[in-house]
Structure 1
Amino acid sequence: VFSEDSTYRSPHISIAKKYHYIKVLKLKRYAIIYVLMGHTMANEDEAHRASEKNLL
């Protein structure tokens, strides 16, 4: 009997899945950091423009 359980227990498959999962997590983390940094940079840019308007 060849069940999904037996294929899932194969070490090669589980290692491949583990590495894929780690890679996805890293990409997600970098994406979140990138988005957050992008937002802070945009906010600083807006604040800078606002202060320039106030000076004028």
Structure 2
Amino acid sequence: MIEQLAAGRVRLLTQESQIGQPAAELAQQSPNPMLNGHQAWLDGLVKAARKQNNN
């Protein structure tokens, strides 16, 4: 869900589901590759948004 906030900000609500045997196995790893991948995706969105605002 994307919500527009004041001062040109947005709030992005995401949900991750870990369903099935492969996901369950990944969830047991440390560091968690699913969690790290999700964070990398969010970081990429922030980077793209900042780049767009600078153009």
TM-score by length of 1: 0.48
Larger RCO: 1 or 2 (CA < 8 Å, sep 6+): 2
Q: TM-score, normalised by structure 2?
A: 0.49
- Of Structure 1 and Structure 2, the greater helix share is in 1
